[in-house]
Amino acid sequence: MTIINNDSKIYIAGHNGMVGSAVWRALVAKGYNNIIGNSRKELDLRDQKQVMDFMQSEQPQVVVDAAAKVGGILANSENPYPFLMENLQIQNNLIDAAHKNAVPKFVFLGSSCIYPKMAPQPLKEQYLLTDSLEPTNEWYAIAKIAGVKACEAIRKQYGKDFMSLMPTNLYGPNDNFDLKSSHVLPAMIRKFHEAKLNNHTTVILWGSGSPLREFLHVDDLAQAVVFSIENKLPEHLYNVGYGEDLSIRELATTIQKIVGHNGKIEWDSTKPDGTPQKLLDSSKLQALGWNPKIGLKQGIKKTYEWYLRSY
């Protein structure tokens, strides 16, 4: 078993994204001093040879796969092929190159959308592949399921510490606020902010507002990643969630208050709702010692402050 210390070389794929940058900050805060990352121009993770050459030359002791093509319902439903193929290419290249270059520890990051649409709540790890997926993001989900299974296969066949963390809906600094490709929480922050600037005009939101969703601040996920780097966890798959959910309607009014928008909210029921509920059972990881610390209102307030500084 490889001992990980502050000098261990840790490669974060996708280090400029919301998740990767949060993991980088968390590792630096704990004294790790040999963290590496590449921009898309420097290393195209979809290119098998480039990834293999990079892994051969750098020989990291830990790889964190926080790289993915991500987006909300609209982006997923309009672009099924790239959401499937590009995510398969990125993760397959990283997992295979890490395995073939004897990287001892690999942390694969996925999403709660890997679980069946109508699975019992809260979602347990064993519900994977027990029923059909949510159609609005099944392409992304299928890619991520393949990554989970690849890490499980390497762990099973070769005894390597390759494992997967499945976070719930994430938000925080460096989130994507593009209304065509963003997830629900950052999209709401932008919509309410712009409506406030525009004399508190009406904000139109998708669906009925009834689906229940769980949200985790990305810095809490980053702590789970650090925890999984510093410990050899006994199983290959762990959920990472906040432990509570709320309706999209409740989320909207919470964000509206924090932003300071005084106008109306209208719900466009012609638009899809997605899965009725997605609440993760994160008790397996919590039993080992990780727990979320950032409350939703506090986290949204911090995220809105970051948005104001950055946009």
Task: Please give the positions annotated as active site.
Answer: 140
Q: Of 77, 73, 261, 269, which is closest to residue 182 (Cα–Cα)? A: 73
168 in a known ligand binding site:
yes
243 in a known ligand binding site:
no
The two beta strands, 35-36 and 277-278, are: unpaired
14 in a known ligand binding site:
yes
Residue 138 and residue 114 in contact, taking contact as beta carbons nearer than 8 Å: no
- Region of residue 260 (phi > 0: left; psi between -120 and 50: alpha; otherwise: beta): left
> For residues 89 and 24, what is the distance between their CA atoms, to the nearest angstrom?
23
Residue type at 105? K
203 in a known ligand binding site:
no
Supply the DSSP string of 208-260, one letter for each residue.
-S--EE-EEEHHHHHHHHHHHHHS--SSSEEEE--S--EEHHHHHHHHHHHHT
DSSP H or E run through 216: strand 215-217
How close are the terminal C-alpha atoms of the chain, in Å? 45
188 in a known ligand binding site:
no
16 in a known ligand binding site:
yes
Backbone phi, then psi, for 218, in 5-degree steps? -60, -25
6 in a known ligand binding site:
no
Q: Of 21, 27, 24, which is closest to residue 6 (Cα–Cα)? A: 27
Q: Token pair 């949204």 is at which residue?
A: 300
> For residues 158 and 154, what is the distance between their CA atoms, to the nearest angstrom?
5
209 in a known ligand binding site:
no
239 in a known ligand binding site:
no
Residue 255 and residue 191 in contact, taking contact as beta carbons nearer than 8 Å: no
> For residues 259 and 253, what is the distance between their CA atoms, to the nearest angstrom?
10
206 in a known ligand binding site:
yes
Backbone phi, then psi, for 27, in 5-degree steps? -70, -45
Residue 47 and residue 97 in contact, taking contact as beta carbons nearer than 8 Å: no
169 in a known ligand binding site:
yes
Q: For residue 165, what are its two tokens?
A: 């963390």
273 in a known ligand binding site:
yes
117 in a known ligand binding site:
no
253 in a known ligand binding site:
no
Residue 303 and residue 172 in contact, taking contact as beta carbons nearer than 8 Å: yes
* Residue numbering of the annotated binding site for substrate: 191, 206, 213, 273
* Residue numbering of the annotated binding site for NADP(+): 14-20, 109-112, 144, 167-170, 183
* Residue numbering of the annotated binding site: 14-20, 109-112, 144, 167-170, 183, 191, 206, 213, 273
